[in-house]
Structure 1
Amino acid sequence: MFSYSSNSHASLSSGNAALIRRLNRSSILDLLRQSSPISPTEIATRLNLSLPTVMRILEELDRLGVVVRLEEQQYSGGRPRSLVSFNGVSHAVIGLDLGGTKMYGTVADLCGTIQAEIYRTSVPSNPEENLNLTIEMIEELLQVPRREGQQVLGIGVGAPGVTLFEDGIVTWAPSLGWRNLPLRQILARRFGLEVVVENDVNLAALGEYGFGVAKGASSLVCLAVGTGIGSGIVIERKIYRGYHQSAGEVGYLLPSKEALGKPYEHFGALESLASGSGVVQRATELIRSQNLPIDVDTLTAEKVFDWARNGEPWAQAIVDETVDYLALIIAAISVVLDPEVIVLGGGVSRSADILVEPILNRLQGCLPAPVRLVVSNLGYRAAVMGAIMLVLDTSFEHVTLRSS
């Protein structure tokens, strides 16, 4: 028999209230970022919140220095309204994108202005060395001179693999050799700052929402096509991770019934065909089968796309196949999620000039709704921009700021 105590009810009510406060604060921060200066009354009207709720959150953000009250006022025929503005330069975020081959780190303010950036080369499948590199990058970024009084709000890390966001654990990142690594705990203890750890493509999607071509979209999917393939899903500003934290792993879609009943441990079925690695593999097989005088040991996806632009028939055939596979992925995303926009990112997006239009042509008339497919304008910076958004969202629960 199910027993429901008053303590359980109190706990649920407390949890719901905390969630509502967090959602309200995120919505207000988002509106402030995009529409400053703005009056508290307009915030309340546009977000359908009570004015006391808005004022309470603004007071909290004011104490933390994230908003400032302006002396100027807004006149709209009645009483003058005071204005508030987002103070994005008051804080900085350390953002890291730990790619499969390269690590990229930044110091940026809350407006997305990058103040410093560094690069490192990861060591394939060497867990200890890659963790040391991550720590060294953060230490170096914390030493970067910042504007006077600017505080570090937190650290956001994008990992190339499956992550448990709530626990901050990287459960499996094969390129780094990490399995069940409690990365958030390690970094929080080391640096004494708020730390968020998220899948790198999820962060990229959030970056596109906050600062990129999908800014402010009600729903978006960021499709990252590089060494592998993955996607990040943002719905009403929030990352959708799925029950098993693996939502968006579209590289594991099956291209045909022949792919059924086979194990895919490192690359998914479509990923092994349509990713940059898949392009190189298919091109290598074709070059060898036709005995073409091309050095396959130095072959890259970018070279294949360049040959296709120059009219090489074998390369054009590979690109045509790649378009087919990517169209299948985008079709699946579209009919299941129907996002407002799909953003193409990752290394392969640099060849969008020969991919986007053919993909859309393949899908013409096939789907119940048109697809809006755009190319990322953030490029390799998308994930660190997402780190700003995620740290901003989570850090005010337990605030620890560092100004030096």
Structure 2
Amino acid sequence: MQMKSINKKRVLQWIQENSPTSRAEIAAKISISKPTVSLLVDELIGEKWVYEKGIGESSSQGGRRPIHLYFNEKAAYVIGTDIGGTKVKTVISDLGGNIVHSSSFSTVQFLESGLLKQIAKEVHFMLDECHIPLDQVLGMGAGVPGITQTSNGVVLEAPSLNWIRYPFLAEAAKYFTFPVHVDNDVNVAALGEQWLGNAKNKQNVLFMAVGTGIGSGIIINNQLYRGYSNAAGEMGYMVTDKTDMKKDFKPIFHRYGYLESVAGGKSIEKKLTEVIQQEPDHPAYSQAIKGELPGEMSFSLAKKGDTLAISVIEEAIEHLAYGIINAASLLNPEVIILGGGVLKSSDYILPRLDRIVNHYLPSSVELKTSRLGDNAGVLGAVSLFLREHESIIKFS
């Protein structure tokens, strides 16, 4: 019985990855006898995981034309939620990663009353809107901005949510009848990019999110690498200047690391504001005196040739490049994907990073921006669920 279940999974996975295909092709490719394949395909069609369509090309001998088999992406749905410090975004996705509905709300507004309670409200509203019955939902994946024990679903620490040892899965069980899986948001985004983005078909991936903080998700031999205490990939703590560290180093926020304090979004804003405050003739001087300048401003000024903005950004890019060089030397990824708020200015950052990084590396690496952008988190959460949950369509 177990062998049958394994074979059924293999047949479904083949159809999933190679639609359209035929019974004969499946039998040849995964070395299961034709009668067995036929039996398993019939079962999968009966269970709506697979459907038949059209007539294939006739064989050169003029034999019967094979019927094509397709994976039914609408057979079931998965919820993906990306819980951030500013907003919570939730989607309903089909099994092919096509978003059928999405909604978001401000984190702060519901932090006290309970984020999961509000997510549950939104999920049920979206399901009603799409006329999707609850029994068609396989489950939910969630990404959270903090160190997460995936085994028991406890979020050890998520500073932007004021969570310490927050029992995420136990809380989720109060609101959802289906299974839920949770992981760190950057790990989840890495899975999203590997499933549907710029790391598709890559087995060794480094995903770096550069925003206020800097974190990374690491995939080694197709497995998410979480580290001994689920804290792998905390690249924001890398040290990229020892002389600076010898001085009285103060992180940009409490418990933040060195790299994010010199190359994160907030540090760029802070540094630019400080240097412009020293230059009364600068066009942005009056704005800088009133308060911190927005991060996008540093890039728009730099593009116009502003020397102060250029020097601030170039320094941040150098630190970022050194961090990437160290990580890439250690991990030797096939591709490095860069996402997060700071990378909204990727047209300025990427060529400069590339130049420094590949100058120092033993073997060159491809640097790409996140293809999924704002959806990397939610689609990654869907991917997390499909990978972690034991079912017939467990993704490898």
TM-score, normalised via structure 2 length: 0.83
Residue number among 50, 64, 77 corresponding to 1:67 in the alignment: 50
Say whether residues 1:267 and 2:250 are aligned partners: no
Residue of structure 1 equivalent to 2:81: 96
Q: Secondary structure at the match of 2:274?
A: helix
Q: Secondary structure at the match of 1:336?
A: helix
Say whether residues 1:165 and 2:150 are aligned partners: yes
1:394–1:189 Cα change, 3 Å: farther
Residue of structure 2 equivalent to 1:362: 356
Residue of structure 1 equivalent to 2:18: 35
Residue of structure 2 equivalent to 1:328: 322
Worse overlay, 377-386 or 77-86: 77-86
Measure how far apart 1:305 and its partner are: 1.0
Worse overlay, 201-210 or 128-137: 128-137
Q: Distance in 2 between matches of 1:162 and 1:206?
A: 17
Residue of structure 1 equivalent to 2:310: 316
Residue number among 221, 232, 235 corresponding to 2:217 in the alignment: 232
Residue number among 235, 260, 268 corresponding to 1:250 in the alignment: 235
1:28–1:138 Cα change, 3 Å: same
Q: Distance in 2 between matches of 1:60 and 1:221?
A: 39
Q: Distance in 2 between matches of 1:233 and 1:328?
A: 18
Do the aligned residues in 1 keep the contact of 2:116 with 2:171 (CA within 8 Å)?
A: no
Do the aligned residues in 2 keep the contact of 1:274 with 1:326 (CA within 8 Å)?
A: yes
1:129–1:283 Cα change, 3 Å: farther
1:51–1:178 Cα change, 3 Å: farther
Measure how far apart 1:166 and its partner are: 2.1
* RMSD (Å) for aligned C-alpha atoms: 3.4
1:58–1:310 Cα change, 3 Å: farther
Q: Distance in 1 between matches of 2:155 and 2:392?
A: 22
Measure how far apart 1:201 and its partner are: 1.1
Q: Deviations over 1:327-363 (max 9, x none)?
A: 1121122111111111111111110011010111112
Q: Distance in 1 between matches of 2:159 and 2:348?
A: 31
Do the aligned residues in 2 keep the contact of 1:209 with 1:237 (CA within 8 Å)?
A: no
Worse overlay, 32-41 or 202-211: 32-41
Residue of structure 2 equivalent to 1:301: 295
Residue of structure 2 equivalent to 1:393: 387
Q: Deviations over 1:98-150 (max 9, x none)?
A: 11211111112122222222121111994554444334333433333246898
Aligned pair count reads 379
Over the matched positions of the two proteins, sequence identity in percent amounts to 34
Do the aligned residues in 2 keep the contact of 1:125 with 1:176 (CA within 8 Å)?
A: no
Measure how far apart 1:235 and its partner are: 3.2
Measure how far apart 1:393 and its partner are: 2.6
Q: Distance in 1 between matches of 2:267 and 2:348?
A: 17
Residue number among 361, 377, 380 corresponding to 2:374 in the alignment: 380
Residue of structure 1 equivalent to 2:331: 337
Q: Distance in 1 between matches of 2:11 and 2:202?
A: 16
Q: Deviations over 1:274-297 (max 9, x none)?
A: 111121122233223445514242
Do the aligned residues in 1 keep the contact of 2:141 with 2:383 (CA within 8 Å)?
A: no
Do the aligned residues in 2 keep the contact of 1:123 with 1:129 (CA within 8 Å)?
A: no
Measure how far apart 1:82 and its partner are: 5.8
Residue of structure 2 equivalent to 1:108: 93
Counterpart amino acid of residue 73 in structure 2: G
Measure how far apart 1:236 and its partner are: 4.0
Structure ID, larger Rg:
2
Measure how far apart 1:196 and its partner are: 1.1
Q: Distance in 2 between matches of 1:67 and 1:385?
A: 22
TM-score, normalised via structure 1 length: 0.82
Do the aligned residues in 1 keep the contact of 2:53 with 2:69 (CA within 8 Å)?
A: yes
Counterpart amino acid of residue 218 in structure 2: I
Q: Distance in 1 between matches of 2:170 and 2:39?
A: 31
Measure how far apart 1:89 and its partner are: 1.7
Counterpart amino acid of residue 279 in structure 1: I
Do the aligned residues in 2 keep the contact of 1:222 with 1:345 (CA within 8 Å)?
A: yes
1:226–1:85 Cα change, 3 Å: same
Residue of structure 2 equivalent to 1:85: 70
Q: Secondary structure at the match of 1:85?
A: strand
Q: Secondary structure at the match of 2:216?
A: strand
Q: Which runs of 5+ in 1 are unaligned?
A: 1-16, 400-404
Measure how far apart 1:163 and its partner are: 1.0
Q: Distance in 2 between matches of 1:217 and 1:104?
A: 27
Q: Distance in 1 between matches of 2:107 and 2:45?
A: 40
Residue number among 265, 276, 279 corresponding to 2:268 in the alignment: 279
Q: Which runs of 5+ in 2 are unaligned?
A: none
Worse overlay, 50-59 or 106-115: 50-59
Q: Distance in 2 between matches of 1:152 and 1:323?
A: 43
Q: Distance in 1 between matches of 2:270 and 2:141?
A: 34
Do the aligned residues in 2 keep the contact of 1:97 with 1:103 (CA within 8 Å)?
A: yes
Q: Secondary structure at the match of 1:123?
A: helix
Residue of structure 2 equivalent to 1:8: none
1:285–1:166 Cα change, 3 Å: same
1:145–1:373 Cα change, 3 Å: same
Q: Distance in 2 between matches of 1:226 and 1:281?
A: 14
Q: Distance in 1 between matches of 2:295 and 2:100?
A: 32
Q: Secondary structure at the match of 1:89?
A: coil
